[in-house]
Structure 1
């Protein structure tokens, strides 16, 4: 058995069909995202995206993450502002992180997070995000990644549905301010 080539790079438009297929598999396995995936390609296009990254194994997209502008109505941004007294302009939001279940345990999520954090650092922003409490594997990933759990919130979606969520923050970039 040979080692697969694993990389993380900026997402390309040509990645979207394969990432949409991966997302369908993630939803079937994990129920992520809780809002559902009626239109996976549209869901991948975050309305406030700053940058997207793709995890690639042997040339095939198998996961992705998005860094997005923070907005006051975002659960994670609101919790961070309440926790720190800072401004949403000081942060960016990690969103839409997923890896194909068949490729988990290879460090790809860690690499995606590292790329995202590096870019946020270049922008001088801390990174905040939320995760549904039911997603215990993701919670373990974030707990071991150096992120600080700063709040518990109720995520509201799809016309009145709710899900308990945890809000995390990565430390502010050194030298930012």
Structure 2
């Protein structure tokens, strides 16, 4: 038996199989689905014809030039590195005439702090929530955070890559 997409979606929604509430379509045509209070989207729909921009992974630039190169002291703790990485991403997006509100997907690669042997997820979130889910910038990307053994730069605790969408011109 073959079902049309609208009928199948309606049946899944009616049956409670899709738990995330549907969000209203934004002015730019992007639909962000969310559930709960956690500041990420559960799904993002991009309209046909929108341009997709993939940014390479970015770590923090050096924060302390007096510290040894490629050391943790040169780049700071997870919160400091996350803020610096997001600021760097924001700058790259601005060069492309985009902003953080255009980010639809984010991958965060994290290394345990060698001093504590733990990931500093709360520190990452403190920085992340300064850019996403604020009254000034409420658009939330879908996001995954990964624990990795190491990053290319031994001083980095975090590297972030994003996908942004250039909205359709009206």
Q: Same fold by TM (over 0.5)?
A: no
**Relative contact order (C-alpha < 8 Å, sep 6+): which is higher?**
2
Which has the larger helix fraction?
1
TM (norm. structure 1) is 0.30
Which has the larger strand fraction?
1
TM (norm. structure 2) is 0.31
